[in-house]
Amino acid sequence: MSNQHQKAIFITGSSSGLGRATAKLFAAKGWKVIASMRDPNEEKELAKTAGVTLIALDITEAQKIERVVQEVVGSVGVDVVFNNAGYGLAGALEGLTDEQIHRMVNTNMLGAIRTTKAFIPYFRQKRAGLFINTTIGWRTTDGSSQLDLSRDEMGA
Ligand SMILES: NC(=O)c1ccc[n+]([C@@H]2O[C@H](COP(=O)([O-])OP(=O)(O)OC[C@H]3O[C@@H](n4cnc5c(N)ncnc54)[C@H](OP(=O)(O)O)[C@@H]3O)[C@@H](O)[C@H]2O)c1
């Protein structure tokens, strides 16, 4: 029997690291977890974890995000969205190509914005909902850069 008061979290980038750990933690605490990732076919452990539903999502694909969000809010419902998917680039900033920088912004910043934008009408309608964003930025050490653009802008 389903528990109508069971909370649900939607996570991007659940295939490793913080996303995967968050999926396991929330599932262990009895939440419904919608663990999105680029390739769910590769995921063995979360696929067998009670309370976890895997869903394919690349956050650079705008239309896919819209479809996935509609599907999720129309079925399980969502209380919390964790914008986690992303990556960092280490090295000298002047060594990065425009393509590398565009790809990072398209993933880390625009991907999180797209996902947030897709959920907002649903949260507004139910007058509840929480977004959690991993905060990322740009640090320099010893002449090299750690470029984790650019969800700092979303911290506001
Ligand atoms: N760990 C840190 O110290 C740290 C510090 C600052 C910020 N962060 C940020 O926190 C987040 C998680 O970090 P982490 O250490 O857990 O990194 P991680 O283990 O590399 O996990 C990143 C996740 O993002 C996914 N991802 C990358 N591009 C994606 C895309 N286009 N669409 C969907 N998923 C995508 C990866 O999926 P695939 O398996 O498909 O590649 C992976 O599941 C990242 O956004 C990272 O930039 C981490």
Q: Is residue 2 part of a domain?
A: no
- The residues, any chain, with a CB within 8 Å of residue 17's CB and separated by 6 or more, are none
Alpha-carbon distance of 96 to 134, in angstroms, equals: 23
Q: Is residue 95 part of a domain?
A: yes
Report which secondary-structure segment, H or E, holds 10: strand 8-11
Q: Which numbered atom of ligand 1 lies nearest the CA of 14?
A: 43
Residue 61: the pLDDT is 98
Q: How many domains does the chain have?
A: 1
Q: Which numbered atom of ligand 1 lies nearest the CA of 85?
A: 24
- The residues, any chain, with a CB within 8 Å of residue 105's CB and separated by 6 or more, are 149, 150
Q: Is residue 106 part of a domain?
A: yes
Q: Is residue 141 part of a domain?
A: yes
Q: What is the pTM of this model?
A: 0.91
Residue 56: the pLDDT is 98
The answer to which of 7-16, 128-137, 142-151 has the lowest mean pLDDT is: 142-151
pLDDT range class, residue 1, cuts 50, 70, 90: very low
Q: Are 59 and 134 in contact (CB under 8 A)?
A: no
Residue 81's SS3 state is: strand
Pocket test for ligand 1, best of 14, 15, 22 (most atoms within 8 A of CB): 15
Q: Is the CB of 60 under 6 A from ligand 1?
A: yes
In single-letter form, the type of residue at position 124 comes to: R
Q: Does 154 score more than 70 pLDDT?
A: no
Report the CATH number that the domain containing residue 95 is assigned in CATH: 3.40.50.720
| Average pLDDT, integer, range 86-113 | 90
Residue 141: the pLDDT is 65
144-147 vs 138-141, strand pairing mode:
antiparallel
- Which domain, by its residues, includes 36? 8-155
pLDDT digits (tens, 9 = 90+) for 32-84: 999 999 999 999 999 999 999 999 999 999 999 999 999 999 999 999 999 99
Q: Is the CB of 84 under 6 A from ligand 1?
A: yes
- The residues, any chain, with a CB within 8 Å of residue 38's CB and separated by 6 or more, are 15, 56, 57, 58
| Average pLDDT, integer, range 112-136 | 94
CB atoms within 10 A of CB 46: 20
Q: Is residue 3 part of a domain?
A: no
